């Protein structure tokens, strides 16, 4: 059996991190190394999907739920405008292979964050 992902360990309270939102299927935390004034991670509780392509193929409703929570949190924590980033593959910067969405908001003027 493979080791739990860092996000599962956070969800289970093994690693401290405030869970800022939670539904039956999805939860959200603040990124430990923020790249914008608001930098949240929206994560399915189910760790079986390694990236967004697997998730879209396996459970599109769960992907839709993640996007909905991202929008809600961007409005609550920022001005409602946001970037939604799914790094997919190590070559694209993915380091945690438990699918998650980066929600970036505030201070996203042109030229920053790869925009």
Residues that bind ligand 5GP (CB under 6 A): 6, 15, 17, 29-33, 87, 93-96
Q: CB of 78: closest distance to ligand 5GP in angstroms? A: 17
Q: CB of 29: closest distance to ligand 5GP in angstroms? A: 5
102 annotated active-site: no
Which of residues 31 and 59 has its CB atom nearest to ligand 5GP in the complex? 31
Which of residues 4 and 87 has its CB atom nearest to ligand 5GP in the complex? 87
- Nearest Cα to Cα of residue 48 among 86, 5, 90, 98: 98
DSSP output for the chain? -PPPPHHHHHHTTSS-----EE-SSEEEEE-SS-SSSEEEEEEES-TT--SHHHHHHH-HHHHHHHHHHHHHHHHHHSSS--EEE---SGGGT----S--EEEEESS--TTSTT-
Check 39, 77, 98, 100 and give the catalytic one: 100
Which of residues 27 and 78 has its CB atom nearest to ligand 5GP in the complex? 27
Q: CB of 111: closest distance to ligand 5GP in angstroms? A: 20
What positions carry a catalytic annotation? Answer: 100
């Amino acid at each position: 059996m493979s080791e739990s992902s860092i996000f599962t360990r956070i969800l289970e309270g093994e690693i401290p991190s405030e869970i800022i939102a939670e539904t039956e299927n999805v939860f959200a935390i603040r990124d430990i190394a923020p790249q914008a004034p608001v930098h949240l991670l929206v994560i399915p509780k189910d760790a079986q999907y390694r990236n967004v392509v697997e998730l879209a193929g396996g459970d599109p409703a769960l992907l839709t739920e993640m996007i909905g929570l991202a929008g809600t949190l961007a409005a609550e924590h920022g001005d409602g405008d946001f970037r939604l980033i799914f790094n997919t593959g190590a070559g694209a910067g993915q380091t945690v292979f438990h699918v998650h969405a980066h929600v970036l908001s505030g201070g996203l003027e042109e030229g920053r964050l790869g925009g």
